[in-house]
Amino acid sequence: PRLVFSGIQPTGIPHLGNYFGALVNWVKLQSTAAPADKLFFSIVGWHALTLPQDPKLLSESRTTMVALILASGIDSQRSIIFHQDQVQNHTELAWILSCMTPIGKLKRMTTWKTRLAVSRNANDESEVDDSLLNAGLFTYPILQAADILAYRATHVPVGEDQQQHLELTRDLAETFNRTYPNPTPLFQLPELILTPSKRVLSLRDPSSKMSKSAIDPNSRILLTDSYETIVKRIRSAVTDSIAGITFDPVERPGTSNLLTILSACTGEAPAALAERYAGSNHGTLKKDVVEAVEETLRKPRTEFARLCEDKTFLAQVARDGAEKAQEHSDRTLKQVRKRVGLS
Ligand code: AQP
C-alpha cells in the first residue's frame, strides 16, 4: 500500500496556484487511492514561521486552512488532515536528521540561494550576506524531510520547486539507513509525484509565480474571491501588445499564463486552447478565463462559507487528524530513538 504525504503552509487563503498545484492533486490522489492506501495532508505551521507572521493572522489561517482543504474536496473520513505543529515528532526527527545533514548540502538548495539573492539585492551589496537571514530558512528542508519520514511516506506529491527538497529527503533516509542498518533499513525512499499542472504565474508580474505573500493582492486569485473580484483581477492581468493569442511562455508569459489558468480549469491543453483563440484578442480570452475560474471556484467557495459556520466540526477534524498522525509517527520515532541510542 502507498502512504501519501503532502503539506501546505497556513500563510493565508490559497490561490489558484496552490489550488491547481496542490489541492486538486490531493483530491485526485484521494479518489484514485486503493483501500489500503493512507493519505496524510498536513498544515505546516512550523514552516510558516520561517517568515515573519502576525500571530493572530497565523492562528486564523490555521483554522481557515482546515476548512479550505475540506472545501476543496478532501474527505476527513478518508484522508488525515492535521496540524504539523500538534505532532512534536516532526521537530524531534528534524533535530536528529539535522545532526546528519552536511551544511554544504543545505547551501546548495535553490530555495536558499534564491533567498540569498533576494536579500543581496535588497541590501545592494556585492557580497552575499547571510548573516541576517534566520537559521530556519536555511534548515527548513530538513524539517520537510522529517515531515515526510516521520510517516515513512512512500509517495509525496509536490511541485517542481520542491523536487530538490525531496532529493534531500531521500538522501537523509539513505544516510539514516546506512548509519543505523539494524535489524533492517528503517526508511523506504519516498517517491516524488510531480504535479502535472503548470506553475501559475503572478497576474501583475508574470516573471514570478503566483504567491500568497506577494504584496500586490491583484497579483493572485484566492479560492474565496467573489465573481466581481475575479473579473477585476483577470481584467487587470498583465499581458502584451502582440495581436492574437499564442502559447509562448518565454516571449508571452502573461498571455500564456491566462491560457495555463484556462487549461487548468477546463482540462484542455494550453496549445489547443491557443489554436482556438488564435484570432481572438486579449479581451475575449480574459472574459472566458473569468467564466472558467468562476465555474471552478464556485463550489469550493460555497462549501468554505458553509464550513466556516461550523467551528466545532473544524476543531474536531483537526483533533482527530492530530491523534492519528501522532499514533502513526510514534511508531517511526520509537524506532528512531532506539536506533540512535536515545530510548
Ligand atoms: N504559483 C504556483 N503555481 C503552482 N503551484 C504552486 N504552489 C505554490 N504556488 C504555486 C504549490 O502549492 C503548494 C503549497 O504551497 P505552500 O503554501 O506550502 O507554500 P509556497 O509554495 O511557498 O506557496 P506560496 O503561495 O508562495 O506561499 P508563501 O507566499 O506563503 O510562500 C506547494 O506544493 C507548491 O508547489
CATH number of the domain encompassing residue 254? 1.10.240.10
In a domain, 96, yes or no: yes
Return the pLDDT at 213. 83
Cis bond upstream, residue 183 (ω within 30): yes
d(CA 170, CA 162): 13
Do 237 and 318 fall into the same domain? no
Give one DSSP letter per residue of 77-96, joined into a string.
TTSEEEEGGG-THHHHHHHH
> Is residue 200 within 6 Å of ligand 1 at its C-beta?
yes
Residue 65 near ligand 1, beta carbon < 6 Å: no
Does the beta carbon of 224 sit less than 6 angstroms from any atom of ligand 1? Answer: no
- Do 325 and 297 fall within a single domain? no
Dihedral of alpha carbons 130, 132, 135, 138, sign: negative
Cell of 274: 491557443
Give the model's pLDDT for residue 227. 98
Q: How far is the CA of 11 from the centre of ligand 1 (A)?
A: 10
Domain assignment present for 159: yes
ipTM for this prediction? 0.95
How far is it, in rounded angstroms, from Cα 32 to Cα 7?
19
- Residue 268: give the domain boundaries: 224-306
Say yes or no: CB of residue 245 within 6 Å of ligand 1.
no
For residue 216, is it within any domain? no
- Find all residues with CB under 8 Å of 76, minimum gap 6, and list them: 70, 317, 320, 321
Question: Are residues 134 and 169 part of one domain?
Answer: yes
Sheet of strand 155-158, all strands in order from the earlier edge strand to the far edge: 80-83, 38-43, 3-8, 155-158, 191-194
Specify if 204 maps to a domain.
Answer: no
186: Cβ contacts below 8 Å, ≥ 6 apart: 152, 176, 177, 180, 332, 335, 336, 339
6-36 pLDDT, tens digit each: 999 999 999 999 999 999 999 999 999 999 9
In a domain, 212, yes or no: no
Q: What is the distance in A from the centroid of ligand 1 to the CA of 177? A: 31
| Three-state SS at 4 | strand
Q: Which amino acid is at 326?
A: Q
pLDDT recorded at residue 131: 79
In a domain? residue 215: no
The whole-number pLDDT of residue 121 equals: 67
Please indicate, yes or no, whether residues 161 and 275 belong to a single structural domain of this protein: no
**Is 184 in the same domain as 330?**
yes
CA of 69 to the centre of ligand 1 (A): 14
| Closest atom of ligand 1 relative to the 198 alpha carbon | 4
Angle, alpha carbons 97-99-103 (nearest 5°) = 100
Atom number in ligand 1 closest to CA 158: 33
Residue whose cell numbers read 552536511: 102
* Cα–Cα distance list, 31 to 41, 70, 230, 339 (Å): 14, 14, 29, 37
Tell whether ligand 1 has an atom less than 6 A from the beta carbon of residue 159: yes
Burial of 298: CB neighbours in 10 Å, binned 0-12, 13-18, 19+:
exposed
8 Cα: distance to centroid of ligand 1 (angstroms): 8
Q: Enumerate residue ranges in the chain where pLDDT < 70.
A: 121-128
* Residue among 1, 78, 88 nearest 41 (CA): 78
- Please give the number of the atom of ligand 1 that sits closest to the Cα of 220: 1
pLDDT of residue 326: 98
Q: What is the whole-number distance in angstroms between the Cα of residue 22 and the centre of ligand 1?
A: 8
Atom number of ligand 1 nearest to Cα 44: 18
Ligand 1 atom index nearest CA of 160? 35
Q: How far is the CA of 211 from the centre of ligand 1 (A)?
A: 6
Q: Specify the number of domains making up the chain.
A: 2
Grid cell at residue 135: 537559521
For position 125, what pLDDT does the model report? 47
Q: Does the CB atom of residue 209 touch ligand 1 within 6 A? A: yes
Distance of alpha carbon 10 from its chain centroid, rounded?
Answer: 10
Cβ neighbors of 120 (< 8 A, separation 6 or more) are 126, 127, 128, 129
Supply the pTM of this predicted model: 0.93
Phi-psi category of residue 155: left, alpha or beta, with phi > 0 → left and psi -120 to 50 → alpha: beta
- Which cell numbers in the block locate residue 290? 473569468
193 and 236 share one domain? no
Please indicate, yes or no, whether residues 193 and 148 belong to a single structural domain of this protein.
Answer: yes
Same domain, 39 and 150: yes
- For a ligand 1 pocket test, name from 211, 216, 261 the mutation site with the most ligand atoms within 8 angstroms of its C-beta: 211
In this structure, the answer to whether residues 70 and 161 fall within a common structural domain is: yes
Q: Note the pLDDT of residue 122.
A: 58
In a shared domain, residues 108 and 17: yes
Q: 209 lies in a domain? A: no
Runs of H (alpha helix) within 33-162:
45-48, 55-71, 89-98, 103-107, 110-123, 135-149
* Angle between helices 311-340 and 282-308 in degrees, nearest 10: 90
